[in-house]
Structure formats: C-alpha cells, structure tokens
Amino acid sequence: MVLKEIPAENIARPLSRNEVIGLLFRLTIFGTVTYFTIKWMVDAIDPTRKQKIEAQKQAEKLMKQIGVKNVKLSEYEMSIAAHLVDPLTMQITWNDIAGLDEVISELKDTVILPVQKRHLFHNSRLLQPPKGVLLYGPPGCGKTLIAKATAKEAGFRFINLQPSTLTDKWYGESQKLAAAVFSLAIKLQPSIIFVDEIDSFLRSRSSTDHEATAMMKAQFMSLWDGLDTDYNCQVIVMGATNRPQDLDSAILRRMPTRFHINQPTLRQRKDILKLILENENVDEAIDFNNIAKETDGFSGSDLREMCRDAALLCVCCFGFVHIFIEEDVIRPIQKDDLLKAIEKMKKSKNAGAPASLIHAALD
C-alpha cells in the first residue's frame, strides 16, 4: 500500500550529488561516533589503562634522560621502557664493592672489554661478549651490586626486567611483551637485560606449567638465543639467583659465563668492614682483623647492618650524655659497639633459617 502512494519516477530516480554527499557525511559521522564509543568502552573496561599511560610517560622521560632520540617504540616496547635505568644516575661503582676483585676483573675482561673495544674482536667468534651472565650465591653477598656496577662502569643501557612486567590477563600479550624486551634492547644496544631472582621467572619447565607461562618462556628463550638471533647483537642477559639448581637447563646453557658470589672469607670481610666504615667516625684503636674473625658466616649485607647497629649505639649514648653535656658531638664507634652489634646479629641469624646455598653444583 505504501509503495503505491510513492510516485514510480521517485523510486527509479538516481540520487543526486548533494544527496550522495549528505549520505556519506551521515555515515562518516555515525562510524566515527561508533568507533570512539567502542574505544571508550574498551578503555573503561581495561583495568590497566592508568598503568599503561603512566608507563608511557615514564618511558618517554627515561628515553630523554639516556639521550635516545628518533627511536620509534611500539606500545609494548613503551611498557618495557618504563623499567629502563639510566647508568649515569646509578650510585654504585667498582669502588663500592669490596672483596670481589677477582670477579670484577673477570667481568671486565669477558663482558665489558669485548663490547667497549669491539673493533679489536670483530674477526673472532670466540672473543665475542657472552649472551648471558649468571651471578649466583647466598643472599646478601653482592650479586645485584655487581650488576649495577657493571652497567654503570660500562655505560650500557640497563633494563631492570621484572616478571610481573611480562604478565597480562589477555591471551598472547605475554609473548608480545617478551618479544618487546629484546626488540627494545636491540634498539638501545649495547644493553643489559637484568633479571633479579631469575629462578622465579625461568625455573625448570614441566608438564604442569600453565600454557601461557610455558609459551612466554619459550618465546623468551627463542629470542634470546634462537634461530633468528643476530650474531652481532650487543645484548646481554644478566641474572642473579641464590637457587641456580631451580633454573631450567636450557637457561643455564644460554648463560655460559657464571660467577659464584660466595660468602666472604676472613680477608674479604676485613676489606668490606674497612669500606663500610671508611667515611665514619671510628676509633683508631679498632683492629679490623679481630672484628672480621668474630663475623664468621656473615654476608656483606649482614656486615653493613652490623655496622649500622654499632653506629646507632653511639647515637643512643649521645641522647643520654646530651642531658649532662650541651655539646652536639657523637662519639666515635668503638670496639665494644661493634662486638655488641655482632652478638645482636648472631642472635638474629640463629633465629632465622640457615643459609640455603653455600656451594651449589650447576652441572
């Protein structure tokens, strides 16, 4: 009935130019509104949107600090770039590490020199820098300090990779983030990808692993040293752990350069004590050799905390003496302060679990 009321010539008549333009204009507006509405809804649903925006701002700031210009980064690379560390801002140098002279010397020869003097080794395949470096040993013995000092002294771009950075609720996103780690490192090379407590991230694979975790590990290892890996790439993966026996055998194969950072010996403890107390007000009568003998089994971290406790004893005495003497002077650290701090630290260590790793075989 309705069609009969419309003149036949109006149905068969083609659209005029203005009508076509108007129709296209309306369709364009409708499509644009629909696109931005859907995009707004997806962004509103995404719980990580704020973190992504903050990560992008942090990444742009860090890229400017380290002097990287005219480098285009993808969305995933921006997320990883938020964990960049500027070597110039690091406060740790080789001089801040005592008792590990042999490890430092070997690191300089095997890792730093082949990168800094690349023109001397470009014709040799045997003298190229290693793809992976593993620092393993008991907690508190300087593994992370060595990694920081390596990046500082060598001037490498330093990516402090955390396992949580590579996890995502969307299927397949973790593999893309793992790929972004290496694509970013290649763009910024020479660079170090540092993974602290690497055993929690790349532990031995098993049939019970979640599919997403297994795929992420496979992607990480493939890009690290796989079929498409560039031989001339100046990217080093450095890991630190106190449980090397938990690492996957394929990961250990990719980390041929390994340094065992064990608990300090008597001589090393003496050197560490001297370094910690170098700029402190210390009684000249203190015999560091005797103090080092009393600290058998202490790690570098334990020695630092012990010296801090001894310094706090001087502060406590200052509060008591200040009642009778108006001078604002804190007395020097004395032998008795160190001995009291040693006893306190021994009680604290005995209350906890014993060190789980002193010597560990990797093969």
Q: Is the pLDDT of residue 77 over 60?
A: yes
**What mean pLDDT is predicted for residues 205-212?**
73
Residue 214 is predicted with a pLDDT of 78
Would you place residue 230 in the very low, low, confident or very high pLDDT band (cuts 50, 70, 90)? low
Which of 6-15, 58-67, 253-262 comes out lowest in average pLDDT?
6-15
**What mean pLDDT is predicted for residues 300-314?**
87
Residue 124 is predicted with a pLDDT of 76
Residue 357 is predicted with a pLDDT of 47
* Residues 141, 142, 144: CA angle, nearest 5 degrees: 130
Whether domain 266-351 has CATH 1.10.3720.10: the reply is: no
SS (H, E, C) 266-328: HHHHHHHHHHHCCCCCECCCCCHHHHHHHCCCCCHHHHHHHHHHHHHHHHHHHHHHCCCCCCC
Most confident of 65-69, 221-225, 228-232, 338-342: 338-342
336: part of which helix (H) or strand (E)? helix 335-351
β-strand 132-136 against 157-161: which pairing, if any? unpaired
Q: Is the pLDDT of residue 356 over 50?
A: no
Would you place residue 26 in the very low, low, confident or very high pLDDT band (cuts 50, 70, 90)? confident
Q: Is the pLDDT of residue 201 over 70?
A: yes
Those residues whose C-beta lies under 8 Å from the C-beta of residue 221, and which sit 6 or more positions away, are 202, 250, 251, 254
Query: 3-state DSSP call for residue 7?
Result: coil
User: Sheet harboring 84-85: ordered strands across?
Assistant: 84-85, 157-161, 191-196, 235-241, 132-136, 257-260
Q: Is the pLDDT of residue 185 over 70?
A: yes
Structural domain boundaries of the chain?
Answer: 51-260, 266-351
Q: What is the pLDDT of residues 103-162, one digit of tens each?
A: 888 888 888 888 878 777 777 777 778 888 899 988 888 888 888 888 888 778 888 888
Most confident of 43-57, 85-99, 248-262, 340-354: 248-262
Would you place residue 10 in the very low, low, confident or very high pLDDT band (cuts 50, 70, 90)? low
Please tell me which residue, 204 or 298, carries the higher pLDDT value: 298
Asked if residues 65 and 89 have their Cβ atoms less than 8 Å apart, the reply is yes
pTM: 0.73
| Fold of the 51-260 domain | Rossmann fold (3.40.50)
Would you place residue 326 in the very low, low, confident or very high pLDDT band (cuts 50, 70, 90)? low
**What mean pLDDT is predicted for residues 307-317?**
82
Please tell me which residue, 272 or 61, carries the higher pLDDT value: 272
Would you place residue 1 in the very low, low, confident or very high pLDDT band (cuts 50, 70, 90)? very low
